[in-house]
Chain A
Amino acid sequence: MSDEHQPEHFSHHVRRYLFVFYALLFGTVITVAASYIPFGNRAINIAVALAIACSKAFLVAGYFMHLISERKMIYGIMAFTAFFFIGLMALTVWAMFAGFPALTVTH
């Protein structure tokens, strides 16, 4: 979303936005369809769904939020965010080796 964009250039952008919109709709449909496919292991289903979700997130962040052509300052902020976000997710991996007991269920 750089400031040098002129009105006449925007019809080109609009076509790109529409393409991203169709891709997101297609991504939604295949996410649902893939969840019905028995890959033999629940972990594969999870990996496929998250891979599609990451692709959709890339399209939204990259094109709708214009991250693919942003200023360095924003990339810097996002780099910090990504670092700490990865840390948050890593906590779950470390916890798996901590040997805590399973949650109790009562009926």
Chain B
Amino acid sequence: MDIPYTTQARPDTGLYNAKLGIWLFLASEVMLFGALFSSYILLRVGAIDGYWPHGWLNIPVGTVNTIVLITSSITTVMAWASLKMNQFGRFKFFHACTILCALTFVGIKSYEYHDKFTHYSIKLADGRIADGHLVEKSPDLNLDQKTGHIVIHGHEVDLANKQGKELETELKKLYDLRSPEAREVKHTELKYEAAQIASMETYGPWHNTYTAIYFTLTGLHALHVIGGALVIGFLWGPGSKMWKTDPERFTNRIEVSGLFWHFVDLVWIFLFPVLYLL
């Protein structure tokens, strides 16, 4: 039995079924990301002054990733337009570029995640906080048994017994990395024995509300990129056989997958300034 309305528009909706389906799906996606953006706003507005991170993410890297995703959007729409112009070779080329862009985006995002998972915040026994990237961790490091050591490349801040302007300056060294106070900080190699350390953790989702919402939003977005790339990859590879048997239906499949891909780009257009710049 043939699936109805794969190419012809349904008289009541004026659309082929897959197109109506993808738009309903995208509507649900808007609500999913909308709820998370709403949560982000609540967390940010509710944070104590000076404690919401600013400049924790690498702006040039984020900008490059934004350009990569925008490029993938134009190659997606060009792939669809190529099919409409009966140019299958051009379609193959443009969608190969889309897949390449998707892989580049995920690769860059993985690099950024790795940077956060090797960034340590160490609370020292004397109350100071050491903050920096991991250089070396001895295999026997155990805080409970007080064995081993860790070396980071970073700096120390002392928030204890500080108030007013003094506390504000120290906080900026930790939380506002685009501030002049943070830029003046010199980073050096710091070694700590386990006995000196009260607790330590990486900048993973568990670190604070900012990293939690950052990993949730970008992680969910990255899953969409991976999912979209898998679908586009299928349609570029084995799925493209349909072009020979049912070109119109294949073109519609490319349109539907493209609509999803543009939505993924659209979400990133808001994620980039919100998480990296503001």
On chain A, the number of residues with a Cβ less than 8 Å from chain B's Cβ atoms is 53
Q: Size range of the interface on B?
A: 35 or more
In contact, B209 and A71 (Cβ under 8 angstroms): no
Q: Which of B30, B70, B208, B259 contacts A28 (CB 8 A)?
A: B70
In contact, B273 and A61 (Cβ under 8 angstroms): no
User: Please, what's the 1-or-0 string for B9-45, where 1 marks a CB less than 8 Å from any CB in chain A?
Assistant: 1000111000110011001001100110110011101
Q: Secondary structure of the A side of the interface?
A: helix
In contact, B23 and A77 (Cβ under 8 angstroms): yes
In contact, B31 and A85 (Cβ under 8 angstroms): yes
* Given A7-B86, A60-B269; A96-B13 close (CB under 8 Å): no
Q: Which of B14, B66, B86 contacts A72 (CB 8 A)?
A: B14
In the assembled complex, the CB of B60 is this many whole angstroms from the nearest CB of chain A, namely 9
In contact, A77 and B35 (Cβ under 8 angstroms): no
How many A-B pairs fall under 8 Å by CB? Answer: 139
In contact, A88 and B35 (Cβ under 8 angstroms): yes
In the assembled complex, the CB of B45 is this many whole angstroms from the nearest CB of chain A, namely 6
Across-interface contacts of A69 in B (CB, < 8 A): none
Q: Which of A28, A77, A107 contacts B66 (CB 8 A)?
A: A28
In contact, A64 and B73 (Cβ under 8 angstroms): yes
In contact, B262 and A31 (Cβ under 8 angstroms): no
In the complex, A61→B260 CA distance in Å?
11
Across-interface contacts of A21 in B (CB, < 8 A): 70-71, 73-74
Across-interface contacts of A42 in B (CB, < 8 A): 278
In contact, A17 and B74 (Cβ under 8 angstroms): yes
In the complex, A77→B59 CA distance in Å?
36
In the assembled complex, the CB of A56 is this many whole angstroms from the nearest CB of chain B, namely 5
In contact, B277 and A31 (Cβ under 8 angstroms): yes
Which residues of B49-66 have CB atoms within 8 Å of chain A's CB atoms? Answer: 51, 59, 63, 66
In the assembled complex, the CB of A39 is this many whole angstroms from the nearest CB of chain B, namely 12
- In the complex, 25 of the A-B residue pairs with CB atoms within 8 angstroms, ordered by the A residue number, are A1-B255, A13-B81, A14-B81, A17-B81, A18-B74, A25-B70, A32-B63, A32-B277, A35-B59, A49-B277, A52-B273, A57-B269, A60-B266, A64-B77, A78-B23, A81-B30, A88-B37, A88-B38, A89-B37, A89-B38, A91-B38, A96-B45, A103-B46, A105-B47, A107-B159
Closest 7 CB pairs of A and B: A35-B277, A49-B273, A21-B74, A92-B41, A81-B27, A71-B14, A88-B34
Known: A5-B84, A88-B34, A103-B43. 9 other contacts (CB 8 A): A10-B81, A21-B71, A21-B73, A35-B277, A49-B274, A52-B273, A60-B265, A74-B23, A88-B35
